[in-house]
Amino acid sequence: MYKVEFEDLATKVYKTLKNMIISGELKPGEKLIQEDLAERLGVSRTPLLSAFAKLAQENLVETISRRGAYVKRFTEQELVDIYDIRIQLEPLGAERAAVYITTEEVAQLEHLLKEYDVATQTKDMHTLKQIDYQFHMSIMRISRNRLLYDMLSTFNVIIISNIKGLLKPPEKSDSEHHQLLDALKGKNSFEARRIMYEHISDSRDNLLKHLIPFDSE
Amino acid sequence: MYKVEFEDLATKVYKTLKNMIISGELKPGEKLIQEDLAERLGVSRTPLLSAFAKLAQENLVETISRRGAYVKRFTEQELVDIYDIRIQLEPLGAERAAVYITTEEVAQLEHLLKEYDVATQTKDMHTLKQIDYQFHMSIMRISRNRLLYDMLSTFNVIIISNIKGLLKPPEKSDSEHHQLLDALKGKNSFEARRIMYEHISDSRDNLLKHLIPFDSE
DNA sequence: CTAATGTTTTTTGTATACAATATCTATTGA
DNA sequence: TCAATAGATATTGTATACAAAAAACATTAG
């Protein structure tokens, strides 16, 4: 049954702004002026306010009453806290994905990794981060746990937005992504979980090591 | 420095509605009519819409464009998925709380458990659930990981709201809560983590056992 | 009697208006 | 010259108005 899906403006604006944060067009700390954005997006302030409310609730935006909304900037400690949570959750997602994954989904992940291979060669950092986000989020979607997906989407957006540069050499990530995909293809839950755990732990450790100088970029 | 904190109406309405969901005044599946609620809360629809947007983003409310907003009802499978996530996260929170906890915080938890003791005797299910929520959320606050707190607040509200009755005898919960508090008082991270894991796992298992008849209440 | 159609009412989505507050700029006083 | 004050401007919070769509109700046709 074909069903017409209507999407209200608030939802469209929310998605647009979230993508602008993911792509780096909106930076942490940047003030979001309602009138400016409303004009730029061609809507009134009303749907924009709802979108802000959603983004604020999702911790991507911070609204200070009567002073305005800002793309939220995270402290290093907060980013580490996020990694602590990711370390608990992404292995769970990978474990589940190994159970549920379909051949179409395998093909999609393979396609993403081909693009990641290329971006690793060309050292295109922006693309590396975007594909990394998509790869991880695809696995969370395959896990069939909607709330897990939602939460990790938030965290991964925060990490992309707040961490300049990469937390490990892309060749290493590339290799780990491939190993992870192999485990998923082989329906090996235990291995998928273990690889994902190592993959995220590594990054957390590197984040800790860079806690003082990483702001210098 | 004393600082005047202004809270906009949208935030007040959000908190009010969230509390109405926690207390059971608003039930899963219940339609939230904007005009009615606006009148009842004494505000215009504008802050109410922002509050809805926040609640929807938090997964407590489901808004269907052009049709309205409903307190979100979760399927049994979704509740199990939530437990899977809780099992990963609450032990992390307990482990951290054992590190950070202060004597004042110990006293607060002790006070909550005294109330839980009483409610266990009187079989006051509503109070048991409310104190359980407060006890768990206090531990997450003590963990000093804000995002962890926020996420678990959502999950625990969903569980209170969607699960009628209790998932284990209150005497058992009471006992486990006390053991947990002892571990926290003793700054024993490992033990706190272990106890919390068992505590939540038990409940998850009982939820699974009740998957078919639990809707009959 | 039931299903289809038409009409009325209710609700939602959004733009706009207005008031309050914060921020910025200009002026004044020490 | 710097700090304080006043005035202008910009922004935010909220109520209200209006249009569109959905829901409810009434009427008609088979």
Q: Do residues A52 and A98 share a domain?
A: no
Q: Provide the 3-class DSSP secondary structure of residue B155.
A: helix
Q: Do residues A61 and A119 share a domain?
A: no
Residue B136: inside a domain? yes
For A34-69, what is each residue's pLDDT tens digit? 999 999 999 999 999 999 999 999 999 999 999 999
B103 touches strand C (CB under 7 A): no
Q: Which two tokens stand for residue A179?
A: 């190993």
Range(s) of the domain holding residue B14: 9-71
Q: Provide the 3-class DSSP secondary structure of residue B81.
A: helix
- CA dist A167 and A206 (Å) reads 6
Of A6, A57, A85, the CB nearest to B148: A85
Terminal C-alpha separation, chain A? 52
Instruction: Give which of A172, A167, A149 is closest to A204, Cα–Cα.
Output: A167
| Half-sphere exposure in the Cβ direction for B166 (13 Å, CA) | 20
Question: What pLDDT was estimated at residue B206?
Answer: 92
Which of B71, B86, B108 is a domain's end point?
B71
| B13 CA to centre of own chain | 18
Q: Which nucleotides of C are covered by protein (CB under 7 A)?
A: 11-17, 21-23
Question: What pLDDT was estimated at residue B5?
Answer: 76
Question: What pLDDT was estimated at residue B209?
Answer: 84
Residue A203: inside a domain? yes
Question: What pLDDT was estimated at residue A215?
Answer: 44
Q: Which amino acid is at B132?
A: D
Choose from B52, B59, B85 for mutation: most chain A CBs within 10 A: B85
Question: How many Å does it take to go from CA B35 to C1' C12?
Answer: 10
Please judge whether A65 and B150 are an interchain contact, meaning their C-beta atoms are less than 8 angstroms apart.
no
- CA dist A69 and B113 (Å) reads 40
- CA dist B126 and B119 (Å) reads 9
CB A126 within 8 A of CB A163: no
Q: Provide the 3-class DSSP secondary structure of residue B170.
A: helix
Question: What pLDDT was estimated at residue A46?
Answer: 97
Q: Do residues A121 and A23 share a domain?
A: no
Q: What percent of chain A has pLDDT over 90?
A: 92
Q: Stretch A83-101: mean pLDDT, rounded?
A: 97
What CATH number does the domain containing B170 carry?
A: 1.20.120.530
Integer-rounded Cα radius of gyration of chain B: 18
Question: How many Å does it take to go from CA A12 to C1' D17?
Answer: 24
Q: What percent of chain A has pLDDT over 70?
A: 95
Choose from A151, A155, A158, A201 for mutation: most chain B CBs within 10 A: A151
For B25-37, what is each residue's pLDDT tens digit? 999 999 999 999 9
Task: Please give the tally of structural domains in chain B.
Answer: 2
Q: Do residues B91 and B154 share a domain?
A: yes
Q: Do residues A64 and A161 share a domain?
A: no
Please judge whether A49 and B51 are an interchain contact, meaning their C-beta atoms are less than 8 angstroms apart.
no
Question: What pLDDT was estimated at residue A164?
Answer: 87
Instruction: Give which of B85, B36, B141 is closest to A85, Cα–Cα.
Output: B85
Contacts of A53 in chain B (CB under 8 A): 10, 50-51, 53-54, 57
Question: How many Å does it take to go from CA A147 to C1' D3?
Answer: 54
Q: Stretch A7-32: mean pLDDT, rounded?
A: 96
For A152-203, what is each residue's pLDDT tens digit? 999 999 999 999 889 999 999 999 999 999 999 999 999 999 999 999 999 9
What CATH number does the domain containing B14 carry?
A: 1.10.10.10
Shortest-distance nucleotide from A65 CA to C1' = D12
Question: What pLDDT was estimated at residue A1?
Answer: 53
Question: How many Å does it take to go from CA B27 to C1' D27?
Answer: 37
Which of A50, A71, A92 is a domain's end point?
A71
Q: Do residues A124 and A186 share a domain?
A: yes
Burial of B172 from C-beta contacts in 10 A (0-12 / 13-18 / 19+): middle
- Give the chain B residue nearest A9 (alpha carbons): B65
- CA dist A190 and A207 (Å) reads 26
Q: Do residues A102 and A205 share a domain?
A: yes
Of A52, A148, A155, the CB nearest to B85: A148
Instruction: Give which of A117, A101, A104, A112 is closest to A184, Cα–Cα.
Output: A101
Establish, for the pair of chains A and B, how many residue pairs have beta carbons separated by less than 8 Å.
Answer: 84
Please judge whether B145 and A53 are an interchain contact, meaning their C-beta atoms are less than 8 angstroms apart.
no
How big is the CA angle at B116 (ends B113 and B118), to the nearest 5 degrees?
Answer: 115
Q: Do residues A66 and A81 share a domain?
A: no
Question: What pLDDT was estimated at residue A127?
Answer: 95
- Looking at chain A, the number of H-run helices and the number of E-run strands are 9, 3
Residue B4: inside a domain? no
Which stretches of chain B drop beneath a pLDDT of 70?
1-4, 211-217
Backbone torsions φ then ψ of B139, nearest 5 degrees: -65, -40
Q: Do residues A37 and A86 share a domain?
A: no
- CA dist B212 and A89 (Å) reads 28
Q: Which long-range contacts (CB under 8 A, 24 or more apart) does A41-49 make?
A: A41/A13, A41/A16, A43/A9, A43/A13, A46/A10, A46/B46, A46/B49, A47/A8, A47/A9, A47/A10, A47/A12, A47/A13, A48/A10, A48/A13, A49/B46, A49/B49, A49/B50
Question: What pLDDT was estimated at residue B216?
Answer: 38
